[in-house]
Amino acid sequence: MLDAMVHRGPDAGGMHQAPGIVAGIRRLAVIDPEHGDQPISSEDGGVTVVFNGEIYNFRELREDLERRGHAFRTGSDTEVLVHLWEEHGPEMVHRLNGMFAFCIHENNTGRTFIARDRLGIKPLYYRLHGRSLIFASEISVLLRHPGVGRTVDMDALPLLYAMQYLPGDRTIQQDVRKLLPGHWILAESGEATIREYYRIPTPQPGEPVSKERLAEELRELLEDAVRCRTMADVPLGMFLSGGVDSGVVLSLLAAATDRPVRTFSVGFDGPERFDERKYARLLAERYGSEHEELVVSAADIGRMLPEMVQRLDEPVTDPAMIPTWLLSEFARREVTVVLTGEGADELFAGYRRYLYQKKYGWFSGMPGARSLADSALGRSSPGRAGQALAALAEPDAGLNHLYWSMIVPVATAGNLFGQDRFKGMLQQTASGFDRYFDGAKSRLSGSLVADQNEWLPHNLLAKVDRATMAFSLEARVPFLDHRVLEWTSRLQDRYRIDGGLTKAILRHAFRKDLPQEILNRPKRGFDLPLGDWIRGPLRELTSNMFSDASLARWEGLDAGAARRMLARHLAGGKDLGLPLFNLLSILLFLERRAG
């Protein structure tokens, strides 16, 4: 298992072995590289920890622990964990500001404690069966253990295909679950207890405060969030796109350091609409960063996708992982740590779907809205417009949210897996989302909490972790400091969406720091030319993977519908690049598993 995760920690490895437990670690040395190797134990050897992540407030915690009589042998953040456990037991997690997944073992009692950070920045997967608990940072590592089966959950694949992620603790492996963000496991006397220690707060707007006061508070919070994430004894830089989020991080990082910031951007060799490098250059010039660009060609994509699926041992259902993967490999030549802008959209309502729901949500109350939406969903390929109409007409909060956030339209997925079967899957999934809207003051606030609990950790953060750690690069996300999240939970909706402007308070707070071209740009993610890739560098691979033998590996998939979709796209009809890309990626995964 340790051999399978050297990429996550190439600098050192270690194991703790005691009656009833073996815990291993691969270390990426970031804090105190010389003395911080793990496992690390308390003074008397009674408590031992293996730890993945960073504790940003470890110096303050250490000072308090030293006043209480604890002695430290290293300068690493890891060592505070064993002493916090001695003082506070499981309640220690509430004192941590950081991203983490760790295992603490009491050698005298045999108790074992495993915890994951509040927002799920660092991953943790596990298999709990009887008196056996097996855990790891990646599913592919967990599968190296003989106690974990390799059976794929075929019923999960349609949801993964359409949503890009699996909600809740579910994974594509029947035997494997995610430890959810803000949860811990305590194993003792042959029993394991799983508990939630942190719940993302439902937005409850506070007393009216002036816009200028809010902007000042937000700046102070983000300044400190960025400052504490500069903590490193290795080279540090950041991923720079052409958007507001990374622009804010760059402005604060440049102010927090006394040397030029190292920035890295990725662009595509092709149509200009898919390349944001010119906006990244504006920001780099504004703050005098040492800026480097990576240009990705269509040939790179054809080469990388099968390699990524093989290395990850998972499908790549978020195409944005490809540029993140290539950019991580590129940046790692110069730095060991990068800051990124993930999380701002989910905190400040940056996606256009939030705007459309807020602006046109009244449609669900119109006579005939539901029948009109059902008609749109019943068409063979209604596209995103039909999907948006269905979302606007859906009064059920959980299902409404799913319709908005699905990447592949319901009708398209229904054609492939059966309309009734797929809609049944959606209904069951939506029931798990209803709790995010209970007590919410508005549909927008409920949608934000749903995305913070589901889309953010299970898709975006998982993507960034896998892509960066594949090349031993640590990614830090200052917007997801839990103090920032809790502050945003007190915002009124109008400070998130103001007229047609998303992320209103964030733009206002940094209006003097960013070029107008950046401030006024609408939200754009990694918009990829998937349709062109399927017709070009991925055409041969796609055609091969749509063979009878390959399609037959996917139980429940309508092979004829899949082939018709590909033929329609290759003939130059409707652009079906994204649904075809996701099919291709999952078929590559199933072929690898079959082999």
Q: How far apart are alpha carbons 266 and 275 in whole angstroms?
A: 8
What is the tens place of the pLDDT at every residue in 75-96? 999 999 999 999 999 999 999 9
User: What would the CATH number be for the domain defined by 3-151+171-196?
Assistant: 3.60.20.10
Q: How far apart are alpha carbons 12 and 9 in whole angstroms?
A: 7
3-class secondary-structure state, position 510: coil
Average pLDDT over residues 555-584: 94
Helix, strand, coil % in the chain, rounded to nearest 5:
50, 15, 35
Return the residue matching tokens 């052409």.
Answer: 242
**Model confidence at 274: pLDDT above 70:** no
Return the residue matching tokens 């400052």.
Answer: 227
pTM: 0.95
Q: How far apart are alpha carbons 119 and 138 in whole angstroms?
A: 17
What is the tens place of the pLDDT at every residue in 27-46? 999 999 999 999 999 999 99
Average pLDDT across the chain, whole number: 92
Closest to 480 in 3D by CA, of 197, 238, 245, 254: 245
* Cα distance between the two ends of the chain: 20
What is the tens place of the pLDDT at every residue in 220-255? 999 999 999 999 999 999 999 989 999 999 999 999
Closest to 580 in 3D by CA, of 593, 594, 563, 558: 563
Give me the DSSP letters along 188-211. Answer: ETTEEEEEE---PPPP---S---H
Q: What per-residue confidence (pLDDT) applies to 304? A: 87
Q: Which two tokens stand for residue 227?
A: 């400052």
Amino acid of residue 4: A
Which ranges of 89-210 does DSSP label H, i.e. alpha helix?
Answer: 139-142, 157-163
Eight-state DSSP code of residue 260: P
H/E run at residue 296: strand 290-296
What is the tens place of the pLDDT at every residue in 334-365? 999 999 999 999 999 999 999 988 887 766 66
Q: How confident is the model at residue 525 (pLDDT cuts 50, 70, 90)?
A: low
Q: How far apart are alpha carbons 363 and 215 in whole angstroms?
A: 33
H/E run at residue 475: strand 474-476
Return the minimum-mean-pLDDT range out of 395-409, 447-461, 483-497.
395-409
Residues of the chain with CATH 3.40.50.620: 211-341+492-519
**Model confidence at 273: pLDDT above 70:** no
Q: How far apart are alpha carbons 202 and 208 in whole angstroms?
A: 18
Second-level CATH architecture of 211-341+492-519:
3-Layer(aba) Sandwich (3.40)
Do residues 421 and 556 make contact, with C-beta atoms less than 8 angstroms apart? Answer: yes
Q: How far apart are alpha carbons 252 and 254 in whole angstroms?
A: 5
Give 54's contacts (C-beta < 8 A, 6+ positions apart).
Answer: 30, 31, 77, 98, 99, 100, 229, 231, 474, 476
Q: What per-residue confidence (pLDDT) applies to 573? A: 79
Average pLDDT over residues 434-456: 93
Amino acid of residue 180: L
Angle at 559 between CA 371 and CA 321, to 5 degrees: 80
Eight-state DSSP code of residue 401: H
**Model confidence at 296: pLDDT above 90:** no
Q: How confident is the model at residue 380 (pLDDT cuts 50, 70, 90)?
A: very low
Distances from the Cα of 546 to the Cα of 15, 577, 587, angstroms? 44, 14, 8
Residues of the chain with CATH 3.60.20.10: 3-151+171-196
